[in-house]
């Protein structure tokens, strides 16, 4: 059942994160008055009993699952058990509770890393499970595939209105800028910022990119994804089911660029004039990861924010919160 009542209760799991906070803002701006969330210290979604008790008490009409353990190549490689277990537990508990308590529609957020390493480019939804995953993020990918399949299973067995959105690489305000666990865009943004004036002679120091810099990536501004979530919540179920592939829709911008080109764009936004170097001993990851956005295009939604503008907004936010990351 699609969202249309401004007073409907909407639970955002993971409302403090980059994606969840953007979704909250988008729904609030659209006039929805009854949005709520819980921090991980208030509610551990890995705990089945606590999650079900929360749903019993709150009875949300709509649910957006933006809660997840996320990170880049390094974090995925170092903490495979955490990435697999935590994400499986969160999605299993939330989806089951939503089904049992009659949630009208649930939107589950996955990731395009669920697609095979050598999937067709751009990657269509029906390429899911047609080949091996990228080894460096397979733990997270397997968990997100399971979450999508659980949505599909609840719809098939119980008629639950659950849809999965598979966003491409995300960035934006409230992103993770920790150099040990962050994704490539926020990590580079921080590196370029900290390299300004950092050379011994006061000039801009060099910035090193992992790998060759040739892999291509697509980047979606977090507030564009938030708008896509609002759009999907408000779309009639028949239209969604007709457009989606087995209840799944890609969300992206429909074009990509190399990591070298990304670095040049970030360098321009930050105003860094130093050299860019490469560390070929580090992994490249998937050679290309562009999503096919045809299905969302046909539904009537497309991303609005250019990469340069999105990076500028993200950089402005980072500079306002830089002390939090430097002190961490």
The binding site consists of: 14-20, 109-112, 144, 167-170, 183, 191, 210, 217, 284
Residues forming the annotated binding site for substrate?
Answer: 191, 210, 217, 284
Cis geometry, peptide bond prior to residue 122 (ω within 30 degrees of 0) = yes
Residues forming the annotated binding site for NADP(+)?
Answer: 14-20, 109-112, 144, 167-170, 183
* Structure token pair of residue 307: 């990469």
Of residues 32, 115, 140, 171, which has the active-site annotation?
A: 140
* Structure token pair of residue 116: 């095979």
Active site residue 62: no
H helix runs in 45-120, sequence order: 48-58, 73-78, 80-100
Nearby residues of 65 by Cβ (< 8 Å), 6 or more positions away: 13, 14, 90, 91, 94, 95, 106, 107, 108, 109, 147
What's the rounded Cα separation, in Å, for the pair 320 and 271?
A: 17
What's the rounded Cα separation, in Å, for the pair 12 and 20?
A: 7
What's the rounded Cα separation, in Å, for the pair 322 and 309?
A: 19
Q: Is 139 exposed, middle or buried (0-12, 13-18, 19+ CB in 10 A)?
A: buried
* Structure token pair of residue 313: 């907004």
Phi-psi region of 242 (alpha: psi -120 to 50; beta: other; left: phi over 0): alpha
Q: Which residues are catalytic?
A: 140
């Amino acid at each position: 059942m699609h969202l249309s009542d401004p007073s409907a209760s909407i639970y955002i799991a993971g409302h403090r994160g980059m994606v969840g906070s953007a979704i909250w803002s988008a729904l609030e701006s659209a006039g929805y008055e009854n949005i709520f969330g819980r921090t991980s210290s208030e509610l551990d979604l890995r705990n089945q009993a606590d999650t079900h008790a929360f749903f019993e008490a709150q009875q949300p009409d709509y649910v957006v699952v933006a809660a997840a353990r996320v990170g880049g190549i390094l974090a995925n490689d170092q903490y495979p058990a955490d990435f697999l277990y935590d994400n499986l537990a969160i999605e299993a508990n939330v989806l089951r509770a939503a089904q049992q308590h009659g949630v009208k529609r649930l939107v589950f957020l996955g990731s395009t890393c669920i697609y095979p390493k050598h999937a067709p480019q751009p990657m269509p939804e029906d390429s899911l499970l047609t080949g091996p995953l990228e080894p460096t993020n397979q733990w997270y990918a397997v968990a997100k595939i399971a979450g999508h399949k659980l949505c599909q299973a609840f719809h098939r067995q119980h008629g639950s209105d659950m849809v999965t959105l598979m966003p491409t690489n995300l960035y934006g305000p409230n992103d993770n800028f920790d150099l040990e666990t962050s994704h490539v865009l926020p990590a580079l943004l921080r590196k370029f910022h900290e390299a300004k004036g950092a050379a011994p002679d006061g000039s801009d120091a060099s910035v090193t990119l992992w790998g060759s810099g040739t892999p291509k990536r697509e980047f979606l501004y977090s507030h564009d994804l938030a708008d896509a979530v609002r759009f999907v919540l408000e779309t009639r179920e028949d239209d969604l089911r007709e457009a989606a592939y087995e209840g799944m829709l890609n969300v992206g911008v429909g074009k990509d660029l190399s990591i070298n080109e990304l670095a040049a764009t970030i360098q321009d936004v930050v105003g860094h004039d130093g050299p860019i170097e490469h560390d070929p001993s580090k992994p490249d990851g998937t050679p290309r990861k562009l999503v096919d956005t045809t299905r969302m295009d046909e539904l009537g939604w497309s991303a609005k924010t250019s990469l340069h503008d999105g990076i500028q907004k993200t950089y402005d936010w980072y500079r306002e919160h830089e002390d939090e990351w430097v002190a961490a």
